[in-house]
Structure 1
Amino acid sequence: MSFDMSSFFSFSTGKGSTCTFTESILRNCGFRTGLFTSPHLIDVRERFRLDGDDISEDKFLAYFWWCYDRLKEKATEDIPMPSYFRFLALLAFKIFTAEQIDVAILEVGLGGRFDATNVVQKPVVCGISSLGYDHMEILGNTLGEIAGEKAGIFKYGVPAFTVPQPEEAMRVLEENASKLDVPLQVVPPLDASLLNGLKLGLEGEHQYMNAGLAVALSSTWLQRTSQLGINYLDTTSPLPEQFIKGLTMANLQGRAQIVPDRYTNSETSGDLVFYLDGAHSPESMEICARWFSLAIKEENQQETFDFQPPNSSGSSNGLPQRQHDGKIRKNSAQILLFNCMSVRDPQLLLPSLMKTCARHGVYFKKALFVPNASVYNKVGSHALPPTETQIDLSWQFALQRVWENLMLGDKGEAKNTDNASEDVKDDTELSARSCENSAVFSSLPLAIKWLRDSVQQNQSLRFQVLVTGSLHLIGDVLKIVKK
């Protein structure tokens, strides 16, 4: 199967964001778009976007069973059913061809060279975003080896774009591009002034790098397919209006996303705010920590600005202090809610997170470790999810030990803060294991219940909860918080 009008992307850090920006730009240029990304957070239909929206349930079911039934009919012991991701990639091709889209934006699932999306023979343009140490058990132990796998999406003579990379990775990308006569260009971050005072639709300073890459990819697609006469490759010229609209209206769940908990949003309780980011590599964890630190500082500075000081006598009569608008002033405490897959190295992830936050003056009052709630079952499987007594928490205990060692060890980064300390207490009935700086919960709902109970018991408390380490965890939290 060959797509003559497709964009093809292989990324490590920022791949979903770059694809989202690119789709939004081209859609706002007036084209019918199809976007295939992974993983999904709540519903598998999130992986298949048509014209900016998740595919409808009716269409998804129709295309799913059309593909599944035909594959099942032909499957044998020698040629079994395709794996999960390969099936979904095939399903994406079916959906996009049947829906007669103008452009398909395909996010590589893993690596590039052997990825299911790499069956596309004639993409219009290829892109590789920031490379880092991710999926090393499959892609290799060095940046050079990882870059070689990513460069597997290059096609003879097809233009490709990337962002500034470490020297080792860039050398491999250039060598592979040269072998295939690929014109490879390095794109700088987008200049924020080109947005005419508007903000990117996706939060975080790092998104300007992804946006710059998306602009180059979109402009090249328009140029090579002779569309609209729009050709934007000069990074110093004003952006076309369609590009600005696409960049500022892009949206993607689970990446630098802030979600207030509506369950506790009342005049009689404290505040609970979730900061969600699916970072799961040392590089993305540092980016996540920087975003979180700046985001909560901005929120807390606004709280200070709005605060009405007590009267000149200095007495508050023992009552909670209030802001100009009469609302209770909140005392903020930062909480970490974390899990990662066992193939990840917490000895790399957690120090990166803690040290980056510490450099910005942010210190977690408590770290909560939970297992993911999401499970995968085969089609037609009637397997029941494990009961609470069957859940293995050994990995969560291992994560907790890493965190406690970081907090108590001579790292020069730990800090014992007193702010809101009276309000942060362990509930030993809920926690499977609790230490001074952390707790393990047997399930995510129990952890969120503890958070909600804590703020409901104190009207002046605000928990700012960073949820990270796993996109599956992000999806599980969204399922609960958005109910």
Structure 2
Amino acid sequence: MATMEFAQHHKKIMPPSSRYEAAMKALSSLITKKKRGDGSKRTEKFDQMFRYLQALELDQQCITELKIIHIAGTKGKGSTCAFSEAILRECGLQTGLFTSPHLMDVRERYRLNGSDISREKFLMYFWECWHQLEEKTTKDLPMPSLFQFLTLLAFKIFLTEKDLPMPSLFQFLTLLAFKIFLTEKVDVAILEVGLGGRLDSTNVVKEPVVCGITSLGMDHTEILGDTIAKIASEKAGIFKSKVPAFTVPQLPEAMSVLNDRASTLSIPLEVAKPLSPNMLKGVHLGLAGHHQFTNAGLAVAICRCWLQRTGRLNFFPNDNEVLPEAFLKGLWTACLFGRAQIVHDKQDNCPETPEIGNGSGNLVFYLDGAHTPESMEVCARWFSSAARDDLYSPLENGHFEKTNCQKNFKNENNYRVLNKVSQNVFLFNCMEVRDPHVLFPQLINICAANGIHFSKALFVPSISTYHKVDSGAPIVSFDITQDVSWQFTLQKIWEKIIHGKKNSALDGFDNSERYAGLPTWELLSEGLSQKCDPANQKFTCSAVIPSLPMAIKSLRDCVKESPSLRLQVLVTGSLHLVGDVLKLLKR
């Protein structure tokens, strides 16, 4: 059945909202575990991707026509992809961008010419891919074990189409990206690796135009390896013969691995220099933070190479130190939710939500999905700089109006906060595989060195779950029955770091009973106006709140009850948490 026939078929049987909910339910059915897997079946799943492409009648020649830019890394790969897409779009090219994860709506993963794919187009391509794969796979077929797989291979017993299970969530989303970009006939497709590189679903691309690897660090060690060298080896798996590769300054152990892989393939590996402010001619980067100069430098090198290899040299002059106007405009307009993002919770651009109230100009959210030691350090430096400065420039902080992907954000005028008492609040959650003993000191020490201290730390569970894909609509739930034992663990670690590990009063620290009731703005105000007294077991500088909507409501109520108070809230530790906050703020 053709694409348009699929679309018309689904239009007839259900309204748009129901069709979208049905698509989200279908996507959720592809998640077989409540938590991320351990990577034990990555090889088999990667091999399956080629068969899924065949099922969708997509061959390597089709994929090559997309003229792909493939980018891996630990930190900054999403930002580098966003810069690259914006630059090439400003050069007049039709662009497709595939990134992960999404924060509010799965359609964020697919940008066409700078805008998230429309619901209508998403549904059209989604159901076509879904039905094509459903017809050629067996539902609920278990994945063969590695031994079974190798045995079949040894005896040349090849699985039939009907022995192929439906793809996992990320496999399907990657396949959908190829389908969308090919049908939309983009000039260039920028693909962000999901996890690792060598066995990532995006690595079915055999002939990209250029590859890039951003800053490397320790993340997903249970899957990618427990050393920086092992992780670098996985990332270098995207390198291809005869395809130029670029990276940024790396740790020596990582750089050695990348060089060895490039040498084995006989390909050039160039280390891109971070951009200097002088090269920008007064233009500010669209993504905030000093680290973005490194990501922008990599994006510029990648785009220059892409233009050269595709015969579009007219966009770039011979002088490499002078950036073309299109490059400057792309660097200025690039945007990416949840990375060093500032949101003013203003009443005039935040509609009333009965359950959690509405916005106030005295509440500012600083959102960054940092969740590794390296990214937490970058986040701390960014927040320290942003929170210290009372003058908020829409240009410097990336909050000028962007029709590309931030069309719901209003242009905010420069203003200076006068006669306000500013307090910093820490709103945090992270996955249990993360180590808060490492994350918290990085943040606390860097902020303190810059004169930034937190009056209150709030630990909350996220709303989003790993085992469900929702429609992006805000879910306002005051469910306080969730298990918050992990949040109390986070709180205890935080208190020990703040008050000193040797403080004997912390040995029996347990605030669970104290905060078992419904939290109010008074609970938050307590930490803002009173000091902790560990000797008497009085810890007012932190709290566990069992519901994120409760936490947002408490923050809003607090600034309403105290007009002279201005709260600067750093939201970090998890992209899930950042996305949930954005949903609740109606962004």
Which TM class, normalised by the smaller chain length?
0.7 to 0.9
Please state how far the C-alpha of 1:390 moved relative to its aligned partner: 3.9
Please state how far the C-alpha of 1:434 moved relative to its aligned partner: 9.1
Instruction: Choose the corresponding residue for 2:272, options 187, 190, 204.
Output: 187
Q: After the TM superposition, which of the residue ranges 85-94 and 338-347 deviates more from structure 2?
A: 338-347
Residue 147 (str. 1) matches residue 232 (str. 2): yes
CA gap of 1:426–1:445, structure 2 versus 1, over 3 A, is: farther
Partner of 1:375: 465
Partner of 1:447: 551
Residue 200 (str. 1) matches residue 285 (str. 2): yes
Aligned pair count reads 444
Residue 284 (str. 1) matches residue 375 (str. 2): yes
CA gap of 1:6–1:156, structure 2 versus 1, over 3 A, is: same
Instruction: Choose the corresponding residue for 1:456, options 560, 571, 587.
Output: 560
Partner of 1:223: 308
Q: Deviations over 1:147-184 (max 9, x none)?
A: 00000000012100000000111011111111111200
Contact 2:96 2:190 in 1 (8 A): yes
SS of 2:104's partner is: coil
Instruction: Choose the corresponding residue for 1:354, options 418, 422, 444.
Output: 444
Q: Deviations over 1:244-266 (max 9, x none)?
A: 01001111111111001124999
CA gap of 1:232–1:376, structure 2 versus 1, over 3 A, is: farther
Instruction: Choose the corresponding residue for 1:25, options 59, 62, 87.
Output: 87
Contact 2:72 2:196 in 1 (8 A): yes
Instruction: Choose the corresponding residue for 2:485, options 394, 410, 419.
Output: 394
Once residues 346 and 83 of structure 1 are traced to their aligned partners in structure 2, the CA distance between those partners, rounded to angstroms, is 30
Q: Deviations over 1:416-451 (max 9, x none)?
A: xxxxx9983269xxxxx9932211111100011111
Contact 1:271 1:462 in 2 (8 A): yes
CA gap of 1:26–1:326, structure 2 versus 1, over 3 A, is: closer
Contact 1:265 1:271 in 2 (8 A): no
Q: Which amino acid aligns with 2:542?
A: S
Q: Aligned-residue CA RMSD in angstroms?
A: 2.8
Partner of 1:311: none
CA gap of 1:269–1:385, structure 2 versus 1, over 3 A, is: closer
Q: Deviations over 1:203-255 (max 9, x none)?
A: 111100000000000000000000152346864x2101110010011111111
Please state how far the C-alpha of 1:392 moved relative to its aligned partner: 1.0
Partner of 2:126: 64
Q: Which amino acid aligns with 2:122?
A: F
CA gap of 1:301–1:359, structure 2 versus 1, over 3 A, is: farther
Q: Which amino acid aligns with 1:447?
A: A
CA gap of 1:261–1:215, structure 2 versus 1, over 3 A, is: same
CA gap of 1:380–1:402, structure 2 versus 1, over 3 A, is: closer
Once residues 110 and 92 of structure 1 are traced to their aligned partners in structure 2, the CA distance between those partners, rounded to angstroms, is 16
Q: Which amino acid aligns with 1:250?
A: A
Once residues 385 and 456 of structure 1 are traced to their aligned partners in structure 2, the CA distance between those partners, rounded to angstroms, is 20
Once residues 481 and 170 of structure 1 are traced to their aligned partners in structure 2, the CA distance between those partners, rounded to angstroms, is 41
Contact 1:269 1:458 in 2 (8 A): no
Q: After the TM superposition, which of the residue ranges 327-336 and 145-154 deviates more from structure 2?
A: 327-336
Once residues 263 and 426 of structure 1 are traced to their aligned partners in structure 2, the CA distance between those partners, rounded to angstroms, is 25
Partner of 1:405: 496
Residue 37 (str. 1) matches residue 99 (str. 2): yes
CA gap of 1:233–1:13, structure 2 versus 1, over 3 A, is: farther
Q: Deviations over 1:263-292 (max 9, x none)?
A: 4999x9771000011111100000000000
Please state how far the C-alpha of 1:195 moved relative to its aligned partner: 1.2
Once residues 280 and 152 of structure 1 are traced to their aligned partners in structure 2, the CA distance between those partners, rounded to angstroms, is 24
Please state how far the C-alpha of 1:326 moved relative to its aligned partner: 11
Residue 105 (str. 1) matches residue 196 (str. 2): no
SS of 2:567's partner is: strand
The 5-angstrom pairing of residues 124-139 of structure 1 reads: 124-139=209-224
CA gap of 1:474–1:288, structure 2 versus 1, over 3 A, is: same
Once residues 353 and 14 of structure 1 are traced to their aligned partners in structure 2, the CA distance between those partners, rounded to angstroms, is 19
Contact 2:346 2:361 in 1 (8 A): no
Residue 261 (str. 1) matches residue 345 (str. 2): yes
Contact 1:223 1:230 in 2 (8 A): no
Segments of 5+ residues of structure 1 without an aligned counterpart are 303-324, 413-420, 428-432
Q: Deviations over 1:308-359 (max 9, x none)?
A: xxxxxxxxxxxxxxxxx99861111110001111111111111111111111
CA gap of 1:349–1:73, structure 2 versus 1, over 3 A, is: same
Q: Which amino acid aligns with 2:368?
A: D
SS of 1:152's partner is: helix
Please state how far the C-alpha of 1:402 moved relative to its aligned partner: 1.1
Residue 85 (str. 1) matches residue 170 (str. 2): yes
Q: Which amino acid aligns with 2:421?
A: N
Partner of 1:465: 569
SS of 1:114's partner is: coil
Instruction: Choose the corresponding residue for 2:526, options 406, 410, 425.
Output: 425
CA gap of 1:283–1:269, structure 2 versus 1, over 3 A, is: closer
Q: Which amino acid aligns with 1:262?
A: K
Once residues 391 and 330 of structure 1 are traced to their aligned partners in structure 2, the CA distance between those partners, rounded to angstroms, is 36
SS of 1:368's partner is: strand
Q: Which amino acid aligns with 1:394?
A: S
SS of 1:404's partner is: helix
Contact 1:264 1:452 in 2 (8 A): no
Please state how far the C-alpha of 1:375 moved relative to its aligned partner: 2.6
Q: Deviations over 1:454-476 (max 9, x none)?
A: 11111111100000011111110
CA gap of 1:397–1:190, structure 2 versus 1, over 3 A, is: same
Q: Deviations over 1:89-127 (max 9, x none)?
A: 000000000000000000000000010000000001000
Once residues 254 and 317 of structure 2 are traced to their aligned partners in structure 1, the CA distance between those partners, rounded to angstroms, is 27
Once residues 387 and 365 of structure 1 are traced to their aligned partners in structure 2, the CA distance between those partners, rounded to angstroms, is 25
Once residues 103 and 387 of structure 2 are traced to their aligned partners in structure 1, the CA distance between those partners, rounded to angstroms, is 24
Once residues 422 and 23 of structure 1 are traced to their aligned partners in structure 2, the CA distance between those partners, rounded to angstroms, is 45
Please state how far the C-alpha of 1:297 moved relative to its aligned partner: 1.1
Q: Percent identity?
A: 58
Once residues 470 and 147 of structure 1 are traced to their aligned partners in structure 2, the CA distance between those partners, rounded to angstroms, is 23
TM-score for both structures, normalised by structure 1? 0.86
Q: Which amino acid aligns with 1:291?
A: W
Once residues 190 and 299 of structure 1 are traced to their aligned partners in structure 2, the CA distance between those partners, rounded to angstroms, is 27
Q: Deviations over 1:369-389 (max 9, x none)?
A: 1111013556899xx999825
Once residues 88 and 276 of structure 2 are traced to their aligned partners in structure 1, the CA distance between those partners, rounded to angstroms, is 20
Once residues 409 and 136 of structure 1 are traced to their aligned partners in structure 2, the CA distance between those partners, rounded to angstroms, is 29
SS of 1:467's partner is: strand
CA gap of 1:170–1:264, structure 2 versus 1, over 3 A, is: same
TM-score for both structures, normalised by structure 2? 0.72
